[in-house]
Amino acid sequence: MTEDLNVTIVTGTIGDDIHSLGIKIIEHTLRNAGFKIASMGIQTSQEDFIKAARETAAGAILVSSMSGHARILCQGFREKCTEAGLKNIVLYLGGKLTTGDLTWSETEPLFLKMGYNRVYSSETLPGQVVIDLKKDLGIK
């Protein structure tokens, strides 16, 4: 039996992104680890992520973006969370975040500067997200 951690995580793909396989794998892994999932599905606006986080008293928002347009789609998200009273919500972002020739060592800092707590490449194993969430949410 899976331990109930009593923590809700809002998940989905952002903006025009229709790629759902990665976030479905993460959702499955998180459920198996005991998290409650509020899945927003594909093509979710920043505002809808925030609304769901407020309605569910979520501990974190996990955004997936595989289209390569995250620099545009994710801009200003932390500020909108703060304005909505979610100043301390944990924000994760993962996937194929940029197009072009940027290396991961160039890509990750772009999104950390935008206010995401953690940023993952498309090669990150789902178990790492569980480990990081437990750490960032103070769960033993």
- Among candidate residues 16, 19, 69, 132, the one labeled active-site is 19
**136 is a catalytic site residue:** no
For the record, the structure tokens of 51 come out as: 């609304």
| CATH T-level topology, domain 8-136 | Rossmann fold (3.40.50)
Give residue limits of the domains in the chain.
8-136
Digit-by-digit pLDDT tens for the chain (140 residues) are 467 788 999 999 998 888 888 899 999 999 999 999 999 999 999 999 999 999 999 999 999 998 888 999 999 999 999 999 999 999 999 999 998 888 899 999 999 999 999 999 999 999 999 999 999 999 98
Question: Among residues 4, 17, 132, 136, which one is catalytic?
Answer: 17
- Calpha distance 132→73 (Å, rounded): 23
19 labelled catalytic:
yes
